[in-house]
Amino acid sequence: MYVSAYFYELLPDCLSRRHNTMRRYSISMKVFVLFCCLWAVIVDGEYLKYKDPKQPMVTRIKDLMNRMTLEEKIGQMTQIERYLASADVMKQYFIGSVLSGPGSVPAPKATAEDWINAVNEIQKGALSTRLGIPMIYGIDAVHGHNNVYNATIFPHNIGLAKHLSLQCRDHDLVKRIGAATALEVRATGIPYAFAPSIAVCRDPRWGRCYESYSEDHRIVQTMTEIISGLQGDLPADSRKGVPFVDGKSKVAACAKHFVGDGGTVGGIDENNTVIDSIGLFGIHMPAYYDSIIKGVSTVMVSYSSLNGIKMHANRDFITGFLKDILNFKGFVISDWQGIDRITSPPHANYTYSVQAGVSAGIDMVMVPINYTEFIDTLTLLVKDNVIPMSRIDDAVKRILRVKFTMGLFENPLADLSFVNQLGSEEHRELAREAVRKSLVLLKNGKITNQPLLPLPKTAPNILVAGSHADNLGYQCGGWTIKWQGVTGNDLTVGTTILSAIKKTVDPSTQVVYQQNPDADFVKSNEFDYGIVVVGEVPYAEMFGDSTNLTITEPGPSTINNVCGAVKCVVVVVSGRPVVLEPYVDKIDALVAAWLPGSEGQGVADVLFGDYGFTGKLARTWFKSVDQLPMNVGDRHYDPLFPFGFGLTTQPVTRN
């Protein structure tokens, strides 16, 4: 191995210095990276084109692939879970990618430094292989860096389109959210985010509806601007379909879930989407066009079926349409155990599933547990000529293209450059802004020209009630710290709506909190008004599928007890429209807050008039579940609140 003499001159000087912890870490990391760079291009006297950043990418990919064995190529196609990814496993199986599933963390309440150390240890295992191909680490970051303690938790997607109309769209907000999310993901040493979801939810009974921006594909298309925030702005001269990541402050994004996941029959998760070509290409496909034009690096396949064919086995759409017609040049990744679910029950015929999924065009398989079985199965299928080598080469070429594009070969190891970005004040202020703009005012006063909102800050005695008023976990929803979310206030750092109210009102105002007061208590205390915060409890995926869409108990009784005794505003915290018609007449003011995330202060900002309500519904609010599915433009459209509805208020000027 050739090593420049400069390295040996630098090393003693670096090691002799006495600095603080971060400085020592920074120097040792720079030394390690410098060492890697110096031997990278020339090894054992041989010039390696793939390690030379001055070479064209196509040359680097070709040179590297010519050196790779079948085992090394299949390793690149394999994504495994963090807790299995020891340095020895990475080296022995040439693993190309690692992920943290929901709740998979280096330690409870792990710091950014903890994450960086864990990711780098795994990466060192990958770099120690014969060819030194870096692994790419991925994580779900669907409303901020949601798996990580102290990260900024933004509103779920269902809230982010609420301030939009088809005439007035705030492209900048979601782009800024994408950029902030990228910085926080990078703060933990991770370069790949499984986001955004660009599903078009056509039935709120679906448990993933809050991951969708709207029932209208035009709004979802607009929201793909978040990709530019995550990855950076695609240069004007870039070729369509080629992945793009603009440096160390950005991450590779993932458009998901391809395709039609928001249109399943009955809103049942992972179910069958029955649709004609006009509906498919007019509703569910357009956001993928926009994503590819923006240079999205990866596309994740849906668990669902399309007209009876599992998407993970749908070669016509993955290869025939996405790759061949749309000219997508990034890599296609499966969902978690997605190829297992090609059969029913899952994993019933794993050999068939691997053959069907890889042959369909899936390039990287999120295995993520039984990786030796996957590797052995795919190896045998290739050696037996069931899967041609050309399919393996196509997959590996796409994976390497993304890795080279994002500079992973030149900067494989994370440093502490961005640790202060995690949960930064700037990002929390951005999330607070997003919350303000997400709120939709559905009712304001029982009598015309007698609005309740904005609320006075100087009222002597106010009541705050409801299960969701002082519960950060309920506020954030599913996909927060853990897959199904967490209840309570210890999950991460943030501000509950109750805390925000107390901070906002005048110091002389008495704020009384009772989660579910009875009517006598409300009447006897002579409150000036009540704020009731109720909604759904956290859920994710199929655990959120619902046929009744009701407010979680004791929410309905809280509404009746409070609003039957005092002027009240009801704030609904939910991942979708829920049944409200039985309560609307009793309520003075009604606000849809969706799943606002960690910055509950944004709710109080608008309730008390520091900012006005501006949000508009990007989803139809139904009267009864018997009407579902019902979307704007349907023949029998009779909603409680129509698509695009939203009352407005003006900010209050106070002395």
Residues forming the active site: 335, 541
**Backbone dihedral region of 168: left (phi > 0), alpha (psi from -120 to 50 degrees) or beta?**
beta
Smallest CA-to-CA distance from 136 within 409, 320, 363, 395 is with 409
Q: At what angle do helices 171-187 and 425-438 cross, to 10 degrees?
A: 140
Q: Is cis: bond before 577, omega within 30 of 0? A: no
| 3-state class (DSSP) for residue 83 | helix
| 173 vs 153: CA distance, rounded Å | 15
- For 94, the token pair is 């040439």
- For 351, the token pair is 């050999």
What's the half-sphere exposure (Cβ side, CA atoms, 13 Å) at 59? 8
Q: Which helix (H) or strand (E) holds 187?
A: helix 171-187
Q: How many CB atoms lie within 10 A of CB 67?
A: 14
| 375 vs 379: CA distance, rounded Å | 6
Q: How many CB atoms lie within 10 A of CB 316?
A: 13
b/e burial code for range 563-578 (CB count within 10 A of at least 16 → b): bebbbbbbbbbbbbbb
Q: What is the DSSP letter of 262?
A: G
Smallest CA-to-CA distance from 244 within 415, 411, 407, 413 is with 407
436 near 183, Cβ under 8 Å? no
| 107 vs 500: CA distance, rounded Å | 30
Decide the pairing of beta strands 331-333 and 78-81.
unpaired
- For 336, the token pair is 């978690």
